[in-house]
Amino acid sequence: MRRDVFQAIADPNRRAIIDLLARQSLTLNEVSDHFAISRPAVSRHVKILTECGLVVIRQQGRERYCTADFSKLGQVSDWIAQYQAFWSGKLDALGRFLEQNDEAASPKKTRRK
């Protein structure tokens, strides 16, 4: 079953695992050592990340090493970009509106002769 990358990053533990693996490849036991949850829970999170394509597991001898793969995060970046452009435009328009109203509301100073 192939899961959605958005499902993977929805959980704070999975985001923390991705962050941890961004720095170095670790065995499942080493990943588990960084969390206050059980090893089976970490294994389930890693399985979801693997199914989403965000983590790659390679066998080296008896150890299984987990490595982050960020290529799928492009989907998230593309999705966010459309909303970033939308909200940037809205906030720019709000800023212009507030500046115009501020200028109109400020009293005009008259010069004394």
Residue range 45-89, pLDDT digits in tens: 999 999 999 999 999 999 999 999 998 888 888 888 889 988 999
Contacts of 64 by beta carbon, 8 Å cutoff, 6+ apart: 27, 28, 57, 58
- Report the half-sphere exposure of 5 (CA within 13 A, side-chain side): 16
**Amino acid, res. 93:** A
pLDDT, residue 111, reads: 59
User: If you average pLDDT over residues 86-96, what whole number do you get?
Assistant: 91
**Amino acid, res. 49:** L
The answer to whether residues 13 and 49 touch, using CB atoms and an 8 Å cutoff, is no
Higher pLDDT, 39 or 102: 39
The 3-state DSSP class for residue 35 equals: coil
User: Between vectors from CA 11 to CA 58 and to CA 13, what angle results, nearest 5°?
Assistant: 60
Higher pLDDT, 69 or 104: 69
Judged against a pLDDT cut of 90, whether residue 35 lies above it is answered with yes
